[in-house]
Amino acid sequence: MVDTVHVAVYDTLADWEIGYVSAHIADPEWQRNPGRYRVRTVGISAEPVTTKGGLRIVPDTVLADVTPEDSAMLILAGNDIWPTDAFAPFVDKARQFLDAGVPVAAACGATGAFAAAGLLDERPHTSNALEFLQGVGYGGASLYRDEPAVTDGDLITASGIAPVHFARAIFARLDVYEPRVLDAWYALYGERDPRGYYQLMASGS
């Protein structure tokens, strides 16, 4: 059985924040259970969206058709529409996932939308900066962690400039790699340590 990881797509999507996630979930090499997951994009409609990098993406499915029961995780990267009504349906879907006990991962502007909606008031979390979240008016400042990525149960939050940390947290939550393999993956991509590459090669595929 293949589990679906849903990646939300919308205009101004910060595509660099999910590059490691999508590429390595799609690549079976080094995975604990190769082929266990597939990535599918989800948009508010079936109309193409344009990312921050100018890439046009046609969503695989629409938000209304995605349910927690049919998903392994919902991932929301940063964007410029997070303070607007255009992003509200994605926040509502994230709340639905969390209420159902299905993981959600949010980075950058998506965390700002979560903060404004009260989703971070009672959970340890991070974002681009505490001041960024305080600017939207939220009650979770005491639970803010000044770290690149934070996992609290079913919620992962991350800074917009920490795509490797974001990916590592997602891989760990989904159990994509054996712990030693994930450590080697992070050593290579996060710390630029060539020893990580050789450890990955030694782990086999």
* Residue 37 φ/ψ region, left for φ over 0, alpha for ψ in the -120 to 50 degree band, beta for the rest: beta
Quickly tell me which residue has 């255009």 as its tokens: 86
Unique residue bearing structure tokens 């009504």: 85
- Asked if residue 126 lies in contact with residue 149, where contact means CB atoms within 8 angstroms, the answer is yes
Residue 108 is a catalytic residue: yes
Q: Quick one: which H or E segment has residue 76?
A: strand 73-76
**Set 9, 13, 63, 108: catalytic member:** 108
User: Which residues sit opposite 42 in a β-bridge?
Assistant: 8, 61
Radius of gyration of the chain (CA): 16
Active-site residue list: 108
